[in-house]
Chains A and B, each alone.
Chain A
Amino acid sequence: MGIVKGDQMVLNIGPQHPSTHGVLRLKVVTDGEIVSDIEPIIGYLHRCFEKHCENSTYEQVIPFTDRCDYIASMNNNFGYVVAMEKLMEIKVPDRVEYIRVIMAELNRIASHLLALGVYGLDVGAFTPFLYMFRDRERILDIFELTCGARLLYNYMWVGGLSHDLPVGFVETVYGFLDYFEPKLKEYNEILTYNKIFIERTADVGVLPPEVAISYGVSGPNLRGSGVKWDLRKDEPYSVYERFDFDIPIGEGTVGTTGDCWDRFYVRMLEITESAKILRQALKDLPQDGDVHQAIPKKIRPPKGSIYQRTESPRGDLAYYIISDGSPQPYRLKMRSPAFTALSVLNEISRGWMLSDVIAILGSLDIVLGEIDR
């Protein structure tokens, strides 16, 4: 944190602050309103995820993955089970793969809705937040219908799922999509194209593509900078190559490519793409297939290691698993996309105002559960 000059002041944002998205602490050097340096201090939510995993069996790891990125638990489950199945060379039935994709995309919509709504809150617009939560609630209802839980699902198991779909599930999701898709227009009207919102976010906190790549930023933050990179397309896992969808990228519609508005809008467009995938997946969902059929009696992968990455709503979520042949992982490392996104904060918010730092932090959409693990 360098030397603090006489006319500068060190300001602590957090850990108890309305817009640090959890328990993050930012040590900010300010000169009046202008911010010259930011040091994020993390670890307030550290729960020893990786060490816990080393002392749990492979099945017991899944609930821990739920608790990392608690906004998108399904996607965290998904990454882990894909890695484990690759390590153990398990072939799962198509029905299971389709259900997983449906759940992951529903959770992606829920996660983006939270990110967008809370971003509105960060720049002072309260109403869009409640609109988005109203609709997110319906997705949580669908999850509750499926597996009984609303936040931490423990739904995807190695080789299968904990429950098959309930009766009437497909109709419920179709009903949700028919209700939800027109609502996107409402969000755009109240927030995205609001003059004040554009003033606050356009040209602010520009993340150039080369900086983003050198810091390892991924997901919507990277795509907001105009880089077309999505693991669902570029390194397809599960059955993603069977669906037809686009990868939206930031184009600097109202400002510079890679500004806060682009990162915001890319998420908005991704919701539409997820809805597109959902409709295709619901149409092609195989009717037969037992979701418990491929679950191994005991999970004991052969000696070796695997690094599998998947596209979570926050970006490139990867699991590195080393197996020594015992029922417990020898080492389990999680590559957190929010962690790399936070690392770029200092780079892109130096020289901006205090209010902008909050806006930039919100546009990176971090989840402290995943950063601290």
Chain B
Amino acid sequence: MIVDNLIDWFPTSAAWPGLTFIVAVILCAVPVFIFIAVYALVAIYGELKISSFIQDKVGPMGQGVGLHAWRWGLLQPVADALKLILKEDIIPSSADKKLFILAPFIVFIGAFIAFSALPFSQTLIIADMNIGIFYILAVSSLGVIGIILAGWSSNNKWSLYGAMRSAAQIVSYEIPAALSIVVVIMLTSTMSMQGIIQYQSGLVWGFLPNWLLFNNPFTFLAFFIFFISGVAECNRTPFDIPEAESELVAGAFTEYSGMRYAFFFLSEYANMFVVSGVAATAFMGGWQSPIPGMFNTPGWGLFWFISKSMFLIFMMIWFRWTFPRLRVDQLMDVCWKGFIPISLFNIFGVGIWYLLIG
């Protein structure tokens, strides 16, 4: 929407019509990039502090001088980021240099362009495409190419292991995630992100907000399948076998350091937001207020959307610091023998429900 508004607003340049479009896209992309960077800092700080509370330790508290020395260790992620930026950029001599440099950007782009279809509020969405949710599912799988490139170009056996595991995992878990979204599309009969959210206004069962999460038992199940598959797509524990620190050192990212590693790190957090954002949109009413009819202005909408996404990110962090890691074959079993049959059954079930009740 914002892109369209900007294009309308600019005076059309007769010399080069494409210029308006490019300027509009850049004007949208820069704030998104800033948002991702700021959000990543918040999420990293959250990860540090939440893990500390779970593990009975204090976490960053502001000891020492310099950037750490502020209250509650709030500047710890800034210091971490600064450290990564200042580090020497090392490319292994046996690496495939071009692919090695390219890989982190491809991974990041996959997460970055998905933001353009995320509905932050009633008005704040960069492009409300009529295939919005399909677009996000499509582009968020772009990252796996980057991971394979990283694993291959590093010329390291551990990286290759990590890349192969990652590819198998992400490609597999996309299927149950997409099948769960099919349930949503069947009910709302739209693929536009705003359309899906508008469907979820009002009440259901008399007192609950009409979120798809509460709409019927099948969508309730679909939400969990989508969210857990999303956790797997982000390579987070208990599905973090591509990185599997105690087995594969650091998986596909073993040879990366400094700024290039920071990009992988940033993409992981950006991916978490995309998955949480889609889950919040498709199942938790997006920018809809939990109390129908109240707090429904665009400002509140932004607040609700970010809150819901951050809650789901909190869940991911909670998982990470509680569970051990699955083995690679068990991971595939969960997907192919568990999630995919349940998702297919879910589609069937929601169809029956729609015919008889909805």
Given contacts A9-B157, A11-B157, A124-B237, contact A358 B321 (CB under 8 A): no
Given contacts A199-B327, A356-B327, contact A127 B246 (CB under 8 A): no
Q: Is there contact, CB below 8 Å, between A196 and B326?
A: yes
In the complex, per-residue mask of B320-351: 1 if CB is within 8 Å of any chain A CB, else 0: 01111111111000000000000000000000
Q: Identify which of A55-63, A89-97, A115-123, A265-273 touches chain B.
A: A115-123
Whether, in the assembled complex, A177 has its beta carbon less than 8 Å from a beta carbon of chain B, the answer is: no
Query: Which of A18, A124, A200 has the most CB atoms of chain B within a 10 A radius of its CB?
Result: A124
In the complex, per-residue mask of B236-265: 1 if CB is within 8 Å of any chain A CB, else 0: 011011001111010000000000000000
Whether, in the assembled complex, B88 has its beta carbon less than 8 Å from a beta carbon of chain A, the answer is: no
Q: Is there contact, CB below 8 Å, between A355 and B327?
A: yes
| A305 shortest CB reach to chain B, Å | 43
Whether, in the assembled complex, B79 has its beta carbon less than 8 Å from a beta carbon of chain A, the answer is: no
Q: Is there contact, CB below 8 Å, between B56 and A134?
A: yes
Given contacts A17-B249, A19-B246, A196-B238, contact A126 B321 (CB under 8 A): yes
Partner of B246, one of A9, A11, A124, A196: A124
Q: Is there contact, CB below 8 Å, between A127 and B328?
A: no
Q: B157: which A residues are within 8 A, CB to CB?
A: 9, 11
Alpha-carbon separation in the docked complex, A19 to B245 (Å):
9
Q: Is there contact, CB below 8 Å, between A194 and B324?
A: yes
Partner of B247, one of A131, A191, A354: A354
B326 (CB) vs chain A CBs: closest residue: A196
Whether, in the assembled complex, B19 has its beta carbon less than 8 Å from a beta carbon of chain A, the answer is: no
Q: Is there contact, CB below 8 Å, between B241 and A355?
A: yes
Q: B325: which A residues are within 8 A, CB to CB?
A: 123-125, 196, 200, 355
A11 (CB) vs chain B CBs: closest residue: B157
Alpha-carbon separation in the docked complex, A191 to B324 (Å):
8
Query: Which of B247, B325, B328 has the most CB atoms of chain A within a 10 A radius of its CB?
Result: B247
Alpha-carbon separation in the docked complex, A124 to B157 (Å):
21
Q: A42: which B residues are within 8 A, CB to CB?
A: none
Alpha-carbon separation in the docked complex, A130 to B246 (Å):
16
Alpha-carbon separation in the docked complex, A121 to B237 (Å):
12
Alpha-carbon separation in the docked complex, A125 to B320 (Å):
8
B161 (CB) vs chain A CBs: closest residue: A354
Q: B87: which A residues are within 8 A, CB to CB?
A: none
Partner of B55, one of A33, A130, A358: A130
Q: Is there contact, CB below 8 Å, between A353 and B249?
A: no
Q: B244: which A residues are within 8 A, CB to CB?
A: 124, 355
Q: Is there contact, CB below 8 Å, between A353 and B321?
A: no
Where chain A touches its partner, the secondary structure class is: helix
Q: B324: which A residues are within 8 A, CB to CB?
A: 120, 123-125, 191, 194, 196-197, 200
Alpha-carbon separation in the docked complex, A356 to B325 (Å):
12
Given contacts A120-B324, A200-B326, contact A355 B55 (CB under 8 A): no
Alpha-carbon separation in the docked complex, A214 to B8 (Å):
83
In the complex, per-residue mask of A346-360: 1 if CB is within 8 Å of any chain B CB, else 0: 000000011110100
Q: Is there contact, CB below 8 Å, between A130 and B323?
A: no
Alpha-carbon separation in the docked complex, A297 to B20 (Å):
96
Given contacts A19-B247, A134-B56, A355-B247, contact A127 B327 (CB under 8 A): no
Partner of A124, one of B54, B57, B238, B330: B238
| A212 shortest CB reach to chain B, Å | 24
Q: Is there contact, CB below 8 Å, between A130 and B57?
A: yes
Alpha-carbon separation in the docked complex, A11 to B244 (Å):
16
A17 (CB) vs chain B CBs: closest residue: B249
Whether, in the assembled complex, A190 has its beta carbon less than 8 Å from a beta carbon of chain B, the answer is: yes
Q: A122: which B residues are within 8 A, CB to CB?
A: 246
Partner of B328, one of A9, A131, A196, A355: A355
Alpha-carbon separation in the docked complex, A357 to B126 (Å):
48
Q: B240: which A residues are within 8 A, CB to CB?
A: 124
Q: A124: which B residues are within 8 A, CB to CB?
A: 237-238, 240, 244-246, 323-325
Given contacts A124-B237, A124-B238, contact A131 B323 (CB under 8 A): no
Q: B238: which A residues are within 8 A, CB to CB?
A: 124, 196
Q: B55: which A residues are within 8 A, CB to CB?
A: 126-127, 130-131
Q: A197: which B residues are within 8 A, CB to CB?
A: 324
| A173 shortest CB reach to chain B, Å | 22
Alpha-carbon separation in the docked complex, A122 to B245 (Å):
9
Q: A353: which B residues are within 8 A, CB to CB?
A: 327-329
A194 (CB) vs chain B CBs: closest residue: B324
| A15 shortest CB reach to chain B, Å | 13
Given contacts A11-B157, A196-B238, A355-B328, contact A127 B249 (CB under 8 A): no
Q: 14 A-B Cβ contacts within 8 A? A: A19-B247, A124-B246, A125-B323, A125-B324, A126-B51, A127-B321, A196-B238, A196-B324, A197-B324, A199-B326, A353-B329, A354-B161, A355-B325, A356-B327
Given A121-B246, A125-B325, 17 other A-B residues pairs in contact with their CB atoms under 8 A: A18-B249, A19-B246, A123-B325, A124-B323, A124-B325, A126-B321, A134-B56, A199-B327, A199-B330, A200-B324, A200-B325, A200-B326, A353-B329, A354-B247, A355-B247, A355-B327, A358-B247
